[in-house]
Amino acid sequence: MKFPNLSKRFDAEDIRKLREYNSLRHSKMSHKEILDDIQQGAEAFLSEFSSYVVEK
């Protein structure tokens, strides 16, 4: 499954698509791989978020 096509408004349908995508991806991973994947995503998000907050 390729990454879902998300809308610009990021609504409930987009969240459903992301959850389905991650569920299918994570079903093929071990628990450690899932946790590592989530941690990497959180680090990327926090890095981007903190740079946005600093700019404002």
> Residue 21, Cβ neighbours under 10 Å: how many?
15
Q: What is the pLDDT of residue 54?
A: 63
Give CA–CA dist 17/31, Å, rounded: 22
Q: What is the pLDDT of residue 36?
A: 94
The encoded tokens of residue 34 equal 């899932």
Q: What is the pLDDT of residue 51?
A: 75
Q: What is the pLDDT of residue 55?
A: 59
- Burial level of 55, CB count in 10 A (0-12/13-18/19+)? exposed
Q: Which residues of the chain have pLDDT under 50?
A: none
Q: Are 14 and 7 in contact (CB under 8 A)?
A: yes
Q: What is the pLDDT of residue 49?
A: 81
